[in-house]
Amino acid sequence: MNTPQAPETLHVRCCIVGGGPAGMMLGFLLARQGIEVLVLEKHADFLRDFRGDTIHPSTLEVMYELGLLEAFLSRPHQQTQTVSLVVGSETLKIGDFSHLPTRCKFIAFMPQWDFLDFLADHARANPHFHLRMLAEATDVIEEQGRVAGVKASTQDGPLEVRADLVVAADGRHSVLREQAGLEILDIGAPMDVLWMRISKLPGDPSQLLGRIEAGQMLVMIDRGEYWQCAYLIAKGAAGRLKEEGLPAFRAKLAGLAPFLGSRVEELQSWDDIKLLTVAVDRLKRWSKPGLLCIGDAAHAMSPAGGVGINLAIQDAVATANILGPLLKHGPVTPEQLALVQKRREWPTRMTQGLQVLLQNRLIDPVLNSKGPISAPWIIRWLTQWPLLRRIPARLIGIGFRPEHVR
Ligand SMILES: Cc1cc2nc3c(=O)[nH]c(=O)nc-3n(C[C@H](O)[C@H](O)[C@H](O)COP(=O)(O)OP(=O)(O)OC[C@H]3O[C@@H](n4cnc5c(N)ncnc54)[C@H](O)[C@@H]3O)c2cc1C
């Protein structure tokens, strides 16, 4: 009979589960404050397809405050100052970032794995920062009424990490928040997303484009050599689309973006198209003694407006500002942990409120419409009044209650 392997045990001040934008940024910031921090990431690398690629002006501001902006922008990326929507045959400019009160007045597009690699490279230069890849947290360790660490499985066998603080930054399907029994408020999303790449040619338009036709929505992100395309479908409609067949789907794409022409043939099989399920929810309480949830683990964000990464980074900055100085001296109290939710819940509620408004007023009606559609009045206003275009730019580019690195 095999005896179970004894777990390797590690002790750190703070253990962060999840090496996404929230977890990597928090790990970097805490290590910078001299706090011993370990990030556990279940994948072998950051190379995954489900992530958004947007780096917002407020995140670029954080990079500036960290002294990393120049190095960051020297990595391959694209920039856009405007957001346009194509409704039927009309192109409407709906957002203009050029007037934002930030150093960078644009959204940068960089594959998220490059962004996370960049953060990891700079964080690793700090001896207080530790990153374990292929380490999947499976449970919390609770002792005397508080979370005292996490259990994880790694390639080398079971791992137990003991920590004064465990941070769940493990995304919208967070295992830790479930194991910790934190209650979720499900807000719901009417859509899912099909995510795919199509090559880009020199004569193509060069900006962030949303394309709308009756029953269909396509968002095209200019990634230099290719278009990252997000095709929105009504929740659960992927099966029906597959039944209609790949040629029919390609024809839909070509109809929405005629300039793609025969390039839609690059989608050779359904394996080239990833289904991403969309969730919008938030925790009633983001913490319990010894454990704090941030980013999508505390509040899953819809892709509407492309602001989830921004919010995750802002949570990390706020957490480091509030808890970093306290963690230096030892465990933090439940009241101190609750300060993070107090600071970040309002921006989260406001952002999710806007996402739900966009889902209910624009996305859902479009996905369910059969006949020709015209741009809603609010979009017409944005087109006619350039000053108004600064509002969506501010909401997307900076968001509510921007955080600054202390
Ligand atoms: C289809 C779609 C498109 C989107 N597009 C955009 C966009 O363009 N711009 C934007 O700003 N936002 C976008 N979002 C939202 C955005 O992806 C999230 O809000 C953001 O990634 C949240 O960051 P996070 O660090 O909290 O979580 P995540 O990015 O989900 O990172 C969580 C990390 O934890 C790891 N992990 C999970 N479980 C474990 C475990 N048990 N043990 C160890 N590691 C674990 C995961 O591998 C992952 O690396 C999109 C969302 C969807 C669904």
The whole-number pLDDT of residue 143 equals 96
Q: How far apart are CA 170 and CA 298, in angstroms?
A: 9
pLDDT higher than 60, residue 1: no
Ligand 1 pocket, Cβ-based, cut-off 6 angstroms: 17-23, 40-43, 51-54, 136-137, 169-171, 175, 193, 195, 276, 278, 295-297, 301, 303, 306-310, 312
Three-class SS of the chain: CCCCCCCEEEEEEEEEECCCHHHHHHHHHHHHCCCCEEEECCCCCCCCCCCCCEECHHHHHHHHHCCCHHHHHCCCCEEECEEEEEECCEEEEEEEHHHCCCCCCCEEECCHHHHHHHHHHHHHCCCCEEEECCEEEEEEEEECCEEEEEEEEECCEEEEEEEEEEEECCCCCCHHHHHCCCCEEECCCCEEEEEEEEECCCCCCCCEEEEEECCEEEEEEECCCEEEEEEEEECCCHHHHHHHCHHHHHHHHHHHCHHHHHHHHHCCCHHHCEEEECCCEEECCCEECCEEECHHHCCCCCCCCCCHHHHHHHHHHHHHHHHHHHHCCCCCCHHHHHHHHHHHHHHHHHHHHHHHHHHHHHHHHHHHCCCCCCCCHHHHHHHHCHHHHHHHHHHHHCCCCCCCCC
The whole-number pLDDT of residue 243 equals 95
Region 142-170 average pLDDT: 96
The whole-number pLDDT of residue 93 equals 78
Region 221-243 average pLDDT: 88
Q: How far apart are CA 129 and CA 96, in angstroms?
A: 38
Region 109-122 average pLDDT: 92
Q: Which of 66-75, 207-216, 269-278, 362-371 has the largest mean confidence?
A: 66-75
The whole-number pLDDT of residue 72 equals 96
Region 390-403 average pLDDT: 89
Q: How far is CA 53 from CA 199, 259, 267, in A?
A: 16, 23, 21
Higher pLDDT, 381 or 200: 200
Q: How far apart are CA 292 and CA 326, in angstroms?
A: 14
Region 88-116 average pLDDT: 87
pLDDT higher than 80, residue 292: yes
The whole-number pLDDT of residue 365 equals 81
Report phi then psi at 251, rounded to 5: -65, -35
The whole-number pLDDT of residue 6 equals 82
Ligand 1 mean position, distance from CA 34 (Å) = 27
The whole-number pLDDT of residue 61 equals 97
CA angle 38, 40, 44 (to 5 degrees): 130
Ligand 1 mean position, distance from CA 169 (Å) = 9
pLDDT tens for 249-288 read: 999 999 888 899 999 999 999 999 999 888 899 999 999 9
User: Do 356 and 349 contact (CB within 8 A), yes or no?
Assistant: no
Q: How far apart are CA 17 and CA 137, in angstroms?
A: 7
Chain-wide mean pLDDT for the chain? 91
pLDDT higher than 90, residue 87: no
Nearest CA, atom 3, ligand 1? 303
Q: How far is CA 28 from CA 55, 148, 329, in A?
A: 17, 22, 19
Pocket mutation for ligand 1, best pick of 16, 39, 51 (most atoms within 8 Å of C-beta): 51
The whole-number pLDDT of residue 288 equals 97
Nearest-atom number in ligand 1 for the CA of 136 is 42
pLDDT tens for 314-361 read: 999 999 999 999 999 989 999 999 999 999 999 999 999 998 888 888
pLDDT higher than 70, residue 312: yes
Ligand 1 mean position, distance from CA 105 (Å) = 25
Nearest-atom number in ligand 1 for the CA of 175 is 41
Candidates 297, 319, 401, 307; CA nearest to 352 is 307
Nearest CA, atom 20, ligand 1? 309
Nearest CA, atom 19, ligand 1? 308
Edge-to-edge strand ranges of the sheet holding 191-199? 90-96, 82-87, 208-213, 216-222, 226-234, 191-199, 274-277
Higher pLDDT, 207 or 221: 221
Region 118-127 average pLDDT: 97
Which percentage of the chain shows pLDDT scores above 90?
A: 64
pLDDT level of residue 2 (50, 70, 90 thresholds): low
Q: Side chain identity at 317, as an amino acid letter? A: V
Q: How far apart are CA 181 and CA 231, in angstroms?
A: 34
Region 128-146 average pLDDT: 97
pLDDT higher than 80, residue 214: no
The whole-number pLDDT of residue 60 equals 97
Report phi then psi at 94, rounded to 5: -115, -10
Q: How far is CA 339 from CA 108, 300, 301, 332, in A?
A: 31, 20, 21, 11
The whole-number pLDDT of residue 4 equals 72
pLDDT higher than 80, residue 19: yes
Candidates 271, 26, 367, 21; CA nearest to 171 is 21
pLDDT tens for 22-79 read: 999 999 999 999 999 999 999 988 876 566 788 999 999 999 999 999 999 999 998 9
Q: How far apart are CA 94 and CA 389, in angstroms?
A: 6
